Chain A
Amino acid sequence: MKSLEHGRVRIALRELRPGPGPALLAVHGLRGSSEEWGDSLASWKGAVHALDLTGHGESARLAGGAYHPELLAGDVDVAIAATAARHLVGRGLGAYLALLVAGSRADRIDGTLLLPGDGIEGGGPEPVFDDLAERFAAFHLRASGAVDGRADPALSALETDIRPPAYATSFARRARRLLLAEDGSARPPWWTAIRELGTAQIVSTRLPDALAALAP
């Protein structure tokens, strides 16, 4: 386990399999960790790394709880710098973070595979301005509660974060190669907007097949 820093954030990076060959970085979903990949990425022909996002797994919690996707994109960014990975696979929240990094570090990332999973699906494409008080009360209860003793309750902000489709597609347009793994289930608006661009490759959610399509 290796420790990386950006700003005041300290995250854990796990080497799932040593090189040689092109390195892959795996980014887990909301309330997951690097452990969730198990040997599911074993078919990748190269080194495989997985990080624990801020507030997850072996990584430190955020003092003050201001979790948001752009900050967590910093976790992915320092991990690609440390591993020289040019391929990303992300699940749920991790898929969104991989998209942000693929678009903002387009010269560093050759291919990105987005898998369905938990995180940033509940906020919708734009804020809903009705029933603000009721929705805030429900959110605040989750964000300050201790429903699950292991996960930081403040991570709830990542369930309700607003993610406009046009914002997501601005990253998708810059990314070199995007692969969307689909199994026919409903996807959030940011995901379907990327699909509608027509430039992403649609692949199976069966990981060996999807990884074969991602390989250089």
Chain B
Amino acid sequence: MKSSGKIYSPHNGALFAALLLALSFANATWAGDWNLKDKDGAHYTLSGLRGKWVLVNFWAPWCPSCIQEIPEFNTLQHQHKDVQVIGVAVMYDSRKEVLDKVAKHAISFPTVFGNEDTAGDFGGLSGMPTSFLYAPSGKLIGHHQGPLTQNEIEQIIEQKPQAAALFTR
């Protein structure tokens, strides 16, 4: 009699799980690619930036080391047409706080309002700032935790051996 009152299959949970998994894969980005929307609404994807070196820099308004490297990236972006720098602001208290930093430091490269999900698309962060560098082929060169200089990035681009250890996979 216990079972006679049950109108639901014991497989309901499994069906629901399958539905969730299907939805999950439908929503997930393909491994290795990402889609970043900057503060002005422009979208940047790794695949769409093929042919350029791409530096994705995670920074926070309260992080002195992050602020320190902004002029370096501004100059890098200005002097190298084959490089695309994208700044992803995270752990901020308000968007205004980010926009104030953008204005104060005249950030000339795209700025993204990021969050944990954004960081998750890059595998997560262990410290600030953290930068991810991609070759023109789209291949991930590696990530670097801590501030970077324009010169260091240029050495990587020029494939100088002494710079190879800056970015780790």
Q: Does chain A bind chain B? A: no
Taking Cβ atoms with an 8 Å cutoff, the residues of A that contact B are: none
Taking Cβ atoms with an 8 Å cutoff, the residues of B that contact A are: none
